[in-house]
Structure 1
């Protein structure tokens, strides 16, 4: 994609001359939608990114948040003993369509390096994946390749993939989405940023040799996918090497141990040109770079190729001149390439090749000078749909077998989710929980979006996605701490598409503000269009929260964390399970339909069998509801908690029964049996408790609490609304929900 004429004229006016070929290519990539957020940045001010816990907010490779400790609501910001977590999220959508295995794998590698550049060690990954209809062979091909790429890369580098989501929707037929998030851990005294510190320091490139793979990846990510993209755009897809990434992770630790890093930037979009120019621009500095000093694996590369290649497993470090030899020694110890490619200056950003200057521009203009787009927006309209013509019993079977609500075990069993011995709650529950023994807390992680919701109503659906993730955390007993988002949309130049995108931004921002959850960073991916049309507006959210940690159950308490036993790692008390324990009364909290409010089936899995209509109403006080649910989850009488969302109450209850514990449920309310069983009003949870009064007290004045029934010593779910009854064994439920295993293995 050539540099647009309007941009060229602006650049010529700034430089007073025509840009060189290398400069034009740099501007084309760094001023692309993917890098410059030209269409979305005007909207992003809606997000509140500040709190007392936020250390580094949006704009760096990853955000940094202080972890509240059990003894103190917040850490002392001046203490080197504080524990920080990093949060980052990235999209690798177009590459994963062209080459699903390498596209997804390198997405994992990139977000991990974003974590490294902040001085953190990566401890957890989540993947939120969106594909076309599961009945399409090509969708299953992409699904298989993406999951394999994530598994192979994440497993090889030793970072557990602990959560995420999978959705199938016709709107992703020609343009799947692969959104990967990473959490990292670091003590306060190891924090590094991507802001250059001082003129005279050296720029050092460490990692893989530079090749021609991934050329123009940033501009490629800012284009609609064409019909022949799978063959024509393959050179724009990077090829990863996870074993080199693992060496880079350990080398990064060694460099930090010896205080050799002054600032750092991962080489991602726009390669060396993007990383080095953005690093010095953040420090309001410049650089002199010798492109011939870059270690390369292919002969004959020209200046533009060296600048823009997106070869993987590379980091750019700012290093004091006297430390460059030691950095080289550490790189050699880990069998990594190392090049001193230039130094930081107080002048322009300049690059030379073959003894000639090929780039000479102000760094801040290159990195931050892209003009913003002022685009028209139209509110999207939704058609009214009739209800499906099916009995509740038939619909229950169909919803259980819907790939969107079915078990995702086929996906997460391919991931090593226990490497590192921190995973206290594994994939498959509402949220994963990581054991942060350094801070004496558990870190709960939830990630995902629901395209059915945002297709039905972009604003309300985005609100629901934020509330859904917060409710997932609360179900483990955690209180939300911070979030990052990956905002995916179609071509913003289409007013209806831009209107839907604007609505999801506002919806996420408003609900996160209501929940007092700062959105500390994120990613925007637009132009997700293909010959099949634009994708649904898709606001993936990754949210973390913390809960107090009872160490009394740890098998062996060591400075290194939990030890292994025959049953696996022994962690502190990780909170209630989603599976019934058989020890209490079943309650549903937050269900407004049982109080007589209109249900609405919009965006539900049930209605998606035929179509979609308006989205159901949201709770009046979401923050208080989430806090009350976390309190209930931590109560000693609570034996199980499960967020009620996808598939409605029927699927939630089905997921909770086990071969040893069943449930008898009777739902009484003014709505139809269909609405009671299948509506997906956000902010609800099913609680199993030995003290129902304690739950009612916790939610008094906040949200309704209704008794559903009790557990049984059978293996069956028996549920009734009026004259309508559902009855199914745990074995049959598991069989119905194993559709991915049947179709993918």
Structure 2
């Protein structure tokens, strides 16, 4: 077949093209022809198809995402916000931290190991491209029912992929979640986050400026794996009724990525790059168009110079390939030789494939023939924008009216005891150590908190002990009941987790996982969740630095629960003052902070005991969350508390059991006046935490809470070797540990 050049495209306007097979709509194809004033070449069509996919262009979500910039002002810490590879915040002492969460959902269902592994690799390169050394990863995960046969296929592969890739990179895995729900059966959510550290002056941006500067592609060779990969795969539902676009999932090589990281950091140290971009979704199509559109000129690329693993690849395939471990740098001519020397030192292949031009076009050539001539912004930033119709689902009112408060409750201490055991041994509340033990949480020696703590925390300066903490949270059950409140509850829980560790929350990233945007019910959920998150961030003063949207997470017409995952990053001046969750000293006094109400909608208790989802989720009070956070941070800094654990899924009893098992000490609890034992133990009211206070600090701590107006109720003491709810029941730590730790190995080992 002869090459489809720009000249040939101009001369053959009526040639049929596979725009539909590439995922484009008829009006989108017409718009491309309008932009170019002719039909696109095959290479141009390939570029537009991947860059205008839902995954890359955010065409259904960007009208809602703009609220994050419009409603939420940047705080003093914000250095780089939405629009770059990752956001950057100032954490003091001249340090900047960059962080982001992204999805690799659909690839991880098809090929669990490689899908998850390359998800880690991709987010690490995003962080690297900002100029930072990656220092830690996190992984919020959602799977189908724990006892479903396919979960036994998907989960072990995903966990092995995350652990295998991250461990080989030498990056500690410090946080995340594992949630089971049948709604994720055909659409597991594999979200991956990364934290990177740099000095302020080392921040790099993705732009190609300076006519004559060279475009250098370096890293792994380009292959046929992942052609169209996540960019196309994540832009359609799984559905057997129509042809599914299921291209090959990317294949990762963590050892190549480790070389790429060290090579890139040395290049940064010598200040050899004027702009840089990693190659992730949409591969070279994305890197070249985004660099050119963010710069001040155009770009010329000779595609036949790209180093290949497969010599039979066509130009279109090279442009669409999402092969991993690749970066694209803009380098001044007099620095090219040194750049290539460093790449050779690290055994990283590097090739000059083009240069920045004076014009305003992205021009790509194949053996001297021009195959692409496009305005780069139309590819990278001016794709379709859809105002998808949305409406509150007809079933929403009935779901909310199905109040969980009407469910039968335990009538005596023995029934309470039985339900506590069922709760702590249920898949979602049980210990995830079988999973997290497969990750190296302490490599590099700077991890000070990791799973199952409320937040992961790493030291970033060994002299001053400056550190950062991160937590990721999201509750699809809450968001199903009320997407606006559900998104705010995810934000509040992540914020609370960071504060409970002793760190001050600074900013957020998010990963918004939803079903098909072509379904008005799903689009309403997305619009409400986005609105709730923007309003919540404004109230808490935590700007959104960036994030990811993952749509089409559904099989046929069955969508996942709306699952906004929120990552909060915090800073702590001295990691030695961190607060763990463990109750470790006999005689510590236990205080419940916040108000406990009859709130069971979407609760773990309603799910585990009654298989029920209905009613309203817990009420959100972000002013209370902010106050609680300030108290937890002050108490940690001033040595007033020895342990803290936020209250969320499973309520007080789940938190107390986890803290007791973590520290190897029991607790005697007394039900406060005005509360019944059931509500005291199982309510999931937000804005609460349980803290262990040394007796010597009780007066100082309670005076602080009283002066600030935060309810603080003494509920017991750390003592013995059982969780003993006075007058109701006692469960030995031995029995609780056996129940808590046996579930996941029993299902998956």
Query: Structure 2-normalised TM-score?
Result: 0.91
The correspondence for 1:302, drawn from 314, 330, 341, is 314
The correspondence for 2:514, drawn from 489, 508, 532, is 489
The correspondence for 1:120, drawn from 116, 125, 132, is 132
Contact 1:576 1:633 in 2 (8 A): no
Q: Secondary structure at the match of 1:304?
A: helix
Q: Residue in 2 aligned with 1:514? A: 539
Find the aligned partners of 2:310 and 2:204 in 1 and give their Cα distance: 32
The correspondence for 1:359, drawn from 372, 388, 403, is 372
Q: Residue in 1 aligned with 2:529? A: 504
The correspondence for 1:28, drawn from 38, 46, 49, is 49
Gap change, CA 1:54 and 1:139, over 3 Å in 2:
same
The answer as to 2:61 corresponding to 1:46 is: no
Contact 2:505 2:542 in 1 (8 A): yes
Contact 1:491 1:527 in 2 (8 A): yes
Q: How does 1:686-701 map to 2 (within 5 A)?
A: 686-690=690-694, 691-700=697-706, 701=708
The answer as to 2:460 corresponding to 1:436 is: yes
Cα displacement string for residues 481-528 of structure 1 (whole angstroms, at most 9, x for unaligned residues): 111001111101111111111121122222222111111110111111
Cα displacement string for residues 282-302 of structure 1 (whole angstroms, at most 9, x for unaligned residues): 114221000000000101211
Q: Which moved more, 1:676-685 or 1:161-170?
A: 676-685
Find the aligned partners of 1:33 and 1:388 in 2 and give their Cα distance: 45
Q: Residue in 1 aligned with 2:669? A: 665
Q: Residue in 2 aligned with 1:705? A: 712
Find the aligned partners of 2:245 and 2:518 in 1 and give their Cα distance: 22
Q: Residue in 2 aligned with 1:637? A: 640
Find the aligned partners of 2:718 and 2:280 in 1 and give their Cα distance: 52
Q: Residue in 1 aligned with 2:81? A: 57
Q: Secondary structure at the match of 1:260?
A: coil
Cα displacement string for residues 205-254 of structure 1 (whole angstroms, at most 9, x for unaligned residues): 0000001111112022111123499x976643100000100000110111
Q: Secondary structure at the match of 1:718?
A: strand
Cα displacement string for residues 698-738 of structure 1 (whole angstroms, at most 9, x for unaligned residues): 333443111101121x1100114xx6x23111111111111
Find the aligned partners of 2:177 and 2:666 in 1 and give their Cα distance: 27
Bigger fraction of residues in helix: 2
Q: Residue in 2 aligned with 1:477? A: 502
Q: Secondary structure at the match of 2:134?
A: strand
Contact 1:247 1:336 in 2 (8 A): yes
Contact 2:577 2:637 in 1 (8 A): no
Q: Secondary structure at the match of 2:564?
A: strand
Q: Secondary structure at the match of 1:274?
A: helix
Q: Secondary structure at the match of 2:67?
A: coil
Find the aligned partners of 2:673 and 2:373 in 1 and give their Cα distance: 71
Q: Secondary structure at the match of 1:377?
A: coil
Q: CA deviation at 1:440?
A: 4.1
Q: Residue in 1 aligned with 2:421? A: 397
Find the aligned partners of 2:606 and 2:579 in 1 and give their Cα distance: 33
Q: CA deviation at 1:39?
A: 1.0
Contact 2:507 2:544 in 1 (8 A): yes
The correspondence for 2:583, drawn from 579, 589, 595, is 579
Q: Residue in 2 aligned with 1:607? A: 606
Contact 1:49 1:57 in 2 (8 A): no
Find the aligned partners of 2:644 and 2:200 in 1 and give their Cα distance: 34
Q: Secondary structure at the match of 2:567?
A: strand
Gap change, CA 1:398 and 1:532, over 3 Å in 2:
farther
Gap change, CA 1:733 and 1:49, over 3 Å in 2:
farther
Contact 2:449 2:580 in 1 (8 A): no
Find the aligned partners of 1:485 and 1:501 in 2 and give their Cα distance: 13
Q: CA deviation at 1:322?
A: 1.7
Q: Residue in 1 aligned with 2:11? A: none
Q: CA deviation at 1:637?
A: 3.2
Contact 1:625 1:702 in 2 (8 A): no
Contact 1:579 1:655 in 2 (8 A): no
Q: CA deviation at 1:321?
A: 1.2
Cα displacement string for residues 118-158 of structure 1 (whole angstroms, at most 9, x for unaligned residues): 11000010000001110101013211110100000000011
Q: How does 1:78-477 map to 2 (within 5 A)?
A: 82-217=94-229, 218-227=231-240, 235-347=247-359, 348-380=361-393, 381=396, 382-383=399-400, 384-385=402-403, 386-388=406-408, 391-437=415-461, 440-477=465-502
Q: Residue in 2 aligned with 1:73? A: none
Q: CA deviation at 1:573?
A: 4.2
Contact 1:473 1:479 in 2 (8 A): yes
Find the aligned partners of 1:458 and 1:673 in 2 and give their Cα distance: 30
Q: CA deviation at 1:190?
A: 1.6
Q: CA deviation at 1:12?
A: 1.3
Find the aligned partners of 1:289 and 1:173 in 2 and give their Cα distance: 43
Gap change, CA 1:99 and 1:5, over 3 Å in 2:
same
The answer as to 2:725 corresponding to 1:719 is: yes
Cα displacement string for residues 413-455 of structure 1 (whole angstroms, at most 9, x for unaligned residues): 1111111111011221111111121664221111121222212
Q: CA deviation at 1:171?
A: 1.0
Contact 1:514 1:622 in 2 (8 A): no
Find the aligned partners of 1:359 and 1:337 in 2 and give their Cα distance: 25
Residue-pair matches, total: 702
Contact 1:583 1:688 in 2 (8 A): no
Q: Which moved more, 1:578-587 or 1:129-138?
A: 578-587
Structure 2's unaligned 5+ residue stretches are 1-20
What is the aligned-residue RMSD (CA, Å)?
1.8
Find the aligned partners of 1:119 and 1:31 in 2 and give their Cα distance: 27
Find the aligned partners of 1:479 and 1:729 in 2 and give their Cα distance: 36
Query: Structure 1-normalised TM-score?
Result: 0.91
Q: CA deviation at 1:33?
A: 1.0
Cα displacement string for residues 51-105 of structure 1 (whole angstroms, at most 9, x for unaligned residues): 1111110111111111134xxxxxxxxxxxx111111111000000000000000
Contact 1:280 1:286 in 2 (8 A): yes
Gap change, CA 1:9 and 1:228, over 3 Å in 2:
closer
Q: CA deviation at 1:660?
A: 4.7
Find the aligned partners of 1:532 and 1:104 in 2 and give their Cα distance: 25
Find the aligned partners of 1:388 and 1:198 in 2 and give their Cα distance: 70
Find the aligned partners of 1:462 and 1:693 in 2 and give their Cα distance: 36
Q: Secondary structure at the match of 1:657?
A: helix
Contact 1:98 1:233 in 2 (8 A): no
Contact 2:644 2:691 in 1 (8 A): yes
Find the aligned partners of 2:212 and 2:496 in 1 and give their Cα distance: 50
Q: Which moved more, 1:267-276 or 1:657-666?
A: 657-666
Contact 1:88 1:521 in 2 (8 A): yes
Find the aligned partners of 1:241 and 1:49 in 2 and give their Cα distance: 40
The answer as to 2:685 corresponding to 1:681 is: yes
Find the aligned partners of 1:354 and 1:397 in 2 and give their Cα distance: 69
